[in-house]
Structure 1
Amino acid sequence: MLLITCPWCGPRAESEFSCGGEAHIVRPKDPDALSDAEWADYVFYRTNTKGDHAEQWVHTYGCRRWFNVIRNTVTYEIKAVYKPGETPAGGEA
Structure 2
Amino acid sequence: MNKTVTLSINGKILRFNVTPEVYNKYIDEIQSTKKVGPTRNALMRTVHAEDKETLKGLIDLPGAAMQIWSQVVEEYAPDLTITVGE
Taking structure 2 as the reference length, what is the TM-score of the superposition?
A: 0.28
Tell which structure's C-alpha radius of gyration is larger.
Answer: 1
Between structures 1 and 2, the one with greater helix share: 2
Taking structure 1 as the reference length, what is the TM-score of the superposition?
A: 0.26
